[in-house]
Amino acid sequence: MGCDVSIKELDSLLAMLSEKKRKMEQEESERNMKILTDFLYCPRKQKINELNEVQTDLQFVKDGTV
């Protein structure tokens, strides 16, 4: 068929492609995890700020009534 590639060379190419695919999948997984972490961090930070405000208000009320 005009293709003089040995089985050994094909095995080597397949192994190389398989490793490249594995690395690309790992990188994609890491990117997705970073996106998810960033997405979840913003609302968490906002809720922590709101909690701190409420705790400050509560402490003010407690201090004022004692």
Residues 16-52 pLDDT 10s: 999 999 999 999 999 999 999 999 898 989 999 999 9
Residues 39, 25: Cα–Cα separation, whole Å: 21
Residues 44, 23: Cα–Cα separation, whole Å: 31
Given this model, what pLDDT does residue 1 score? 53
Residues 29, 23: Cα–Cα separation, whole Å: 10
Q: Return the residue matching tokens 């709101």.
A: 50
Q: Is pLDDT above 80 for 12?
A: yes
Looking at per-residue confidence, does 43 or 1 come out higher?
A: 43
List the structure tokens of 65: 């009534």
